[in-house]
Every structure is written in C-alpha cells, then in structure tokens.
Amino acid sequence: MYAYPFSYHRAKSLAEATKLLQQLGEESRVIAGGQSLIPLMKMRLARPSALIDINFIPDLSEIKNQNGELRFGALARHTDIEISEYAAAIPILHDCAAGIADVQVRNQGTIGGSLAEADPSGDWAATLLALETSVVCTGPQGERSLKLEEFFKDAYTTALGREELVREVIVKKPPKNSGGAYLAFKRSAPVYATASAAVQLTLDAKDTCKDARIVLGCVGLTAIRAKQAETELRSKRVDERTIERAADAVREAAEPQSDMRGSVDYKRALVAALVKRAIGIAVRRARGERVEAGHEYVGR
C-alpha cells in the first residue's frame, strides 16, 4: 500500500524542524518512529503534504537520570526504555515499554511520537499520567514545559502548537514506598490493547495508602484519571473491600465505545478487573517485592 505522495524533509536540528514546520505550512507533519503515522498514511486516513523527519537529529534519544527525574529524549525508542536501567527502577515504566506491540514496533516507535500522536489506545498516556510527567515542547517562541494532564486535549489532539514539537519527556521519580503497575489486555501482541490500567500507589509505614493514581487506557477518547477510585483508596488500608470499591468507581469512570475489540459492558468489566490486579501488584511492589507484570495476550 502506498501513502498519498508527500515531500520529504530531513531536519538536522530541532530548530530546523521548527523552521520547516513554519515554511511547509499546515499540511506538514513531523515523523519520528512512524509506527502510528505510517499505517494511518498507508490507509490514507492521514494525508500530510510534507513530512519532516526528525530521526536524524543527534542526541534526541538519550535517557538521563538526574535530580530525581528521568528525562527521555523524544526519540527514545520503546526498546531503549525497555532495556534502560534507569527505567527499570520505576517498574510501571518497564511494564509499559516492554509490552508495547511487538519487538519490531518497539525498536522503531518513540515515546515522544506516541504522546504527540495521542492515540486513545496508546500505552504511554495512561502509564505516564499515573506518574508526575511533563512534556517539554519546542517551537518558534522557544521552549515550554507542560504537565502531561494539560498536554492531552482529545483523541489525536494535544496542546502542541502547529509549529511545535516534543523535545523531552520528564518523569519525576516516585517516592520510596511507592509502587506501580501497568497492565494491558490485548488479543495478540501486535494490536492495540482492548483496555489498560495504570496504577501508582504510595503506602505509609502501616500500609495505609498515602497517595494513589489510577488511570484507564483505551476506554475513552483520552486516558482517564479515575479520581473517585483514587479517593476510595487514599488514607485507607488497601484491602479487598477498598479494592472492590475502587473497581466499582472504575466501572463508572470508564467511557468505552463498542467496537471489534469488545462491547461497552465487556470493556467496563475488563478495565475494572485490570485495575484490581494492578492495585495488588502496585501494593506488593511498594513493599519492595519484585513482581512481573505488563501486557497480556494469548500465546504469551
């Protein structure tokens, strides 16, 4: 399958990419890994007149660990994050990175591209919203940093200006006694998940939940913070009863659509089940236990 024809421009720096975006006008788009954009272009659901390739910009895929933060260059591939020791220290990041699609897609797809594409079924949005994440955007007016909550506006829509692009994704390291998990259920490895759940909990010395974030993926136009579910856990002991209440709140918070991946009822039930399990794993990890988790699919 062939995409609609486009002109191709290779940026050597972020400044050049911004300039090209200005010059080439509204129908131009930035391409990073291309694992979302190229399929859309082949199906002619996207038809940019010009592509600005940022893959050749040096030093844009670095992963840095400094001042209590992890900083991911926009071009950090999912595989880079999967094998990063820094990312391994925050298990929820590894859960996500190691299970996105399949090896080939992880080798090519980027964290910056995933966020900028804002696909409702993307994995990074839910994962990173469960942490303190900000996105550094660069454009003709210089740089600005946005909280991830402010970055996502709608399905496939972000706060990025026409001539802006993502430079870096900054994740604040969670405190000690904090644990998280990202669980996604998909029908097979290469496809988008049917539903996903990202949970990050911080416990105090008595195992009471000090703080909780619960984010649902693939069950709305953007990833959804299940704030009522978080309230059900906060300041309480995390036990069967509180988890059940949180799951009830998750069912309410989800806004799934019926499609070939499942009906509305099925997805509500699925996302609630994923949250329950993710809470269990997050608690064990907060206590220092090593637990494997991530994407689940048949034949795994």
Partner 1 sequence: MLAAEKITVRVRVNGEPREASVEPRTLLVDFLRENLNLTGTHIGCDTTYCGACTVLLNGRTVKSCTLFAPMADGGEITTVEGLSTNGALHPVQHAFAECHGLQCGYCTPGLLLSTLHLLSNNSKPTEKQIRKAIAGNTCRCTGYQNILKAIHMAAGEMGKR
Which residues are near partner 1 by CB under 8 A?
1-8, 10, 31, 34-35, 38-39, 41-42, 49, 51, 53, 55, 79, 101-105, 107-108, 188-191, 297, 299-300
Residue among 104 and 145 whose Cβ is closer to partner 1: 104
Minimal distance, residue 28 CB to partner 1, in Å: 12
d(CA 270, CA 266): 6
Assess contact for 52 and 28: CB atoms under 8 A: yes
d(CA 181, CA 127): 8
Minimal distance, residue 271 CB to partner 1, in Å: 23
Minimal distance, residue 5 CB to partner 1, in Å: 5
Q: Beta strand 178-185 with 295-296: parallel, antiparallel or unpaired?
A: parallel
Instruction: Please report where in the chains the tokens 């895929």 appear, as a residue.
Output: 61
DSSP SS3 for 224: strand
Assess contact for 54 and 75: CB atoms under 8 A: yes
Q: Which helix (H) or strand (E) holds 231?
A: helix 227-233
Minimal distance, residue 292 CB to partner 1, in Å: 10
Assess contact for 259 and 177: CB atoms under 8 A: no
Residue among 1 and 205 whose Cβ is closer to partner 1: 1
Minimal distance, residue 257 CB to partner 1, in Å: 21
Minimal distance, residue 190 CB to partner 1, in Å: 5
Residue among 6 and 266 whose Cβ is closer to partner 1: 6
Q: 218: which 2 tokens?
A: 């693939």
Nearest to 72 by CA among 82, 246, 52: 82
Residue among 4 and 150 whose Cβ is closer to partner 1: 4
Minimal distance, residue 294 CB to partner 1, in Å: 10
Residue among 2 and 206 whose Cβ is closer to partner 1: 2
Task: Work out the number of other CB atoms within 10 angstroms of the CB of residue 245.
Answer: 16
Nearest to 86 by CA among 99, 100, 67: 67
Minimal distance, residue 235 CB to partner 1, in Å: 39
Burial class (CB in 10 A: 0-12, 13-18, 19+), 203: buried
Residue among 205 and 298 whose Cβ is closer to partner 1: 298
d(CA 60, CA 54): 9
Assess contact for 100 and 80: CB atoms under 8 A: no
Residue among 98 and 129 whose Cβ is closer to partner 1: 98
